[in-house]
Amino acid sequence: MLEITDLSVDHAGVTALDRVSLTARDGVVTALVGANGAGKSTLLKAVSGLLVPRGGGIRFEGQSLLGLPAQAVVQRGICHVPEGRGLFPFMSVLDNLLVGAHLRKDSAAIRDDLDKVFHYFPLLKDQRQRLARNFSGGQQQMIAIGRGIMSRPRFYLFDEPSIGLAPLITREVLNTIATLAREDKRGVLLVEQNANLALDIAEDAYVLELGRTLLAGPAQRVKADEGVRRAYLGL
């Protein structure tokens, strides 16, 4: 379980998060919804050690993450799949995937996780020696998710996984994320521009506005809120 309490973060000279609290449970998707500039990506970066909070607490499985560098957060079992995918374009699919396992020594389990990635994304198995730069945006997102799986985390942070993707690929990617939570019993904190789909696959949801928590609760109740429907769902 990930617990964030009264988190405040300054970024580029302004307050990006102001005393935000949330809980993300194991085995479910927790959606983080809000307009651009609401502080969603800032929150993920604070959890993963890429930004240093001004105040508040971040605890994972009962242990504080405050002050830990990004590599130590990964070692604690948290995987951040960033916006923009962050692949190595001149490396093969296979090598990009194995980057995710670079802290691991369990060779047999690494092979098992490769099989899992190829089960989710069969196209990657057939073209695993092809350079990452030669894939479409949706296929590159599959590689990025696969790299995350290869780290064998206990918790995932996904930042805008559907940016630039066609609607059918968006649904496939988000359904895979939901499957990771449900079947692997992993917690997922999801920042996603497609609020409709994000709330459909999530069990819990938080709405951020200008760095503060505007609304929180079960995802379907948040989705039914009239203000959310008008502002973020186009309904």
CATH number of the domain bearing residue 219: 3.40.50.300
Q: How far apart are CA 141 and CA 174, in angstroms?
A: 11
Q: Tell whether 104 is covered by a domain.
A: no
> Domain tally for the chain?
1
Q: What is the 3-state secondary structure (H, E, C) of 17-60?
A: EEEEEEEECCCCEEEEECCCCCCHHHHHHHHCCCCCCCEEEEEE
| 63 alpha carbon, distance to own chain's centre | 20
Q: Which amino acid is at 168?
A: L
Is the pLDDT at 135 greater than 90? The verdict is no
The answer, yes or no, to whether residue 42 has pLDDT greater than 90, is yes
Q: Is residue 22 part of a domain?
A: yes
User: Residue 173 domain-assigned?
Assistant: no
Predicted confidence (pLDDT) per residue in 168-194, tens digit: 888 888 998 999 999 889 999 999 888
Q: What is the mean pLDDT of residues 46-73?
A: 94
Predicted confidence (pLDDT) per residue in 142-166, tens digit? 899 999 999 889 999 999 888 877 8
Could you give the maximum distance between any two Cα atoms of the chain, in Å? 51
How far, in Å, CA of 47 to CA of 131, rounded? 31
Q: Is residue 132 part of a domain?
A: no
The structure tokens 């904190």 sit at: 189
Domain that holds residue 204: 1-77+153-161+187-235
Mean pLDDT of 30-53: 93
Residue 102 lies in a domain: no
Domain assignment present for 226: yes
Alpha-carbon 74 to chain mean position: 13
Indicate whether 125 belongs to any domain: no
Which residue carries 């099989």 as its tokens? 115
Give residues with Cβ within 8 angstroms of 234, minimum separation 6: none
The edge-to-edge listing of strands for the beta sheet with 204-209 is: 78-81, 155-159, 187-191, 29-33, 204-209, 212-218
Domain presence at residue 35? yes
Which residues partner with 51 through β-bridges?
Answer: none
Q: Mean pLDDT across the chain, nearest whole number? A: 90
The answer to whether the pTM exceeds 0.85 is: yes
